[in-house]
């Protein structure tokens, strides 16, 4: 995993935890005017190039693993498989990011083309494309709203369960992180864990789930059919090559994609400097600015820069990834203190957030009683 950048000194490390201002002195229109016009252009040819590139790299990894790892003596094979899983999961996470971009109408000027590409990519990586597209759209529309956001809704102190107190120690944090990274995404899809409370059971596979509107229900069913087709393909592969082969070549890399996805989004939305808002204080631009960029080192490029352009993405989600860095740099002078990138090495950042971002509460002496900040002392 990319280690991320390094803090230049202790003062920089301390400053990164400084809270962002609450009220921006600019508008979304101001930000858009600062971005070069070509950054808003979506090229089907250029977007398709990245899909083809990633698919070729993924095939090369598959070919090398399938051809040569079985020839290695046992000790070397045990070392080679994790290398393959990491490499394949990394490049497939890049494909997942492109599928996510399709859902934001950033792949092509024609939304239907993006939907077809996104549907194929996400289905192959065990993600219900349309279902997740619509819940993710709700997340973008209500980012960091305690009442209406779709995911990563932190607990208030009064809602912290007893088991959270029992897990508030190094072994407990290890368990929590492993649980979140491995089971977090499938449980979110299946049970809406950490998501918005709808008053009844909600998931991403039931077309009648309260997550979706009437006009979205047929496409939710299409997402389900896409996953059923993938299950059928897996069944055929198991019959032809065996379960162990399918798990090693395909299953573990897909789990790796989900791990990377949860890690990236968890770190984007969990930080001591970021506020959450209840309905008395929330507005769209406040919420969109309450995210943070992260540095995943060499994986930034593999993940198509989604890691360190996330603030821009929440402000203007339809800018393609190949223009995102330029657009981000164009608005940084306007954002000022409202923009943050944390270059803390990823493992260190992951541990720090698990240790210090336990629950949220407003400051007792603040006039912003609807603005909540992370706290760590239970």
Q: Measured between alpha carbons, how far is 195 from 202 in angstroms, rounded to an integer?
A: 9
- pLDDT tens digit sequence for 26-65: 999 999 999 999 999 999 999 999 999 999 999 999 999 9
Q: Environment class of residue 207 by beta-carbon count within 10 Å: exposed (0-12), middle (13-18) or buried (19+)? A: middle
∠ CA 48-297-175, nearest 5°, is 105
pLDDT averaged per 10 residues, the chain (length 378)? 50 74 94 97 98 98 97 93 98 98 97 98 98 96 95 88 82 94 95 90 95 96 98 98 97 98 97 95 96 97 98 98 98 96 96 93 85 84
Q: Measured between alpha carbons, how far is 184 from 182 in angstroms, rounded to an integer?
A: 6
Domain residue ranges of the chain, discontinuous segments joined by +: 30-374
> To 10 degrees, what angle do helices 111-124 and 74-103 make?
150
Q: pTM (2 decimals)? A: 0.93
Tokens of 85: 């899983």
Tokens of 220: 């939710």
- pLDDT tens digit sequence for 140-177: 999 999 999 999 999 888 888 777 778 888 999 999 99
Phi-psi region of 105 (alpha: psi -120 to 50; beta: other; left: phi over 0): left
């Amino acid at each position: 995993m990319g280690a991320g950048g390094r803090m230049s000194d202790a003062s920089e490390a301390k400053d990164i935890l400084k809270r962002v201002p609450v009220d921006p002195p600019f508008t979304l229109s101001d930000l858009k005017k600062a971005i070069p016009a070509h950054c808003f252009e979506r090229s089907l040819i250029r977007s398709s190039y990245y899909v083809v590139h990633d698919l070729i790299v993924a095939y090369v990894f598959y070919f090398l693993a399938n051809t040569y790892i079985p020839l290695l003596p046992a000790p070397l094979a045990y070392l080679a498989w994790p290398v393959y899983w990491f490499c394949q999961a990394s490049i497939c996470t890049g494909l997942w990011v492109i599928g996510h971009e399709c859902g934001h109408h950033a792949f092509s000027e024609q939304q239907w083309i993006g939907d077809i590409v996104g549907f194929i990519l996400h289905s192959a990586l065990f993600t219900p494309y349309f279902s997740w597209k619509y819940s993710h759209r709700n997340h973008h529309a209500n980012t960091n709203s305690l009442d209406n956001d779709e995911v990563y809704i932190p607990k208030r102190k009064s809602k912290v369960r007893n088991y959270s107190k029992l897990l508030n120690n190094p072994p407990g944090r290890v368990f929590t992180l492993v649980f979140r990274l491995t089971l977090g995404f499938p449980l979110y899809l299946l049970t809406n864990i950490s998501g918005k409370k709808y008053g009844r059971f909600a998931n991403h596979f039931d077309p009648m789930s309260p997550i979706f509107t009437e006009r979205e229900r047929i496409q939710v069913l299409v997402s389900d059919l896409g996953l059923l087709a993938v299950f059928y393909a897996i069944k055929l592969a198991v019959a032809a090559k065996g379960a162990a082969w399918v798990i090693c070549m395909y299953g573990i890399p897909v789990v790796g994609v989900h791990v990377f996805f949860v890690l990236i989004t968890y770190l984007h939305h969990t930080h001591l400097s970021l506020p959450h808002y209840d309905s008395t204080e929330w507005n769209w631009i406040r919420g969109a600015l309450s995210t943070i960029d992260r540095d995943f080192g060499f994986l930034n490029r593999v993940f198509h820069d989604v890691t360190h352009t996330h603030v821009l993405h929440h402000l203007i989600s339809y800018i393609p990834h190949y223009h995102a860095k330029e657009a981000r740099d164009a608005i940084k002078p306007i954002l000022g203190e409202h923009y943050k990138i944390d270059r803390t090495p990823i493992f260190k950042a992951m541990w720090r957030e698990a240790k210090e971002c336990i629950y949220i509460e407003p400051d007792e002496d603040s006039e912003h009683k609807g603005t909540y900040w992370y706290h760590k002392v239970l």
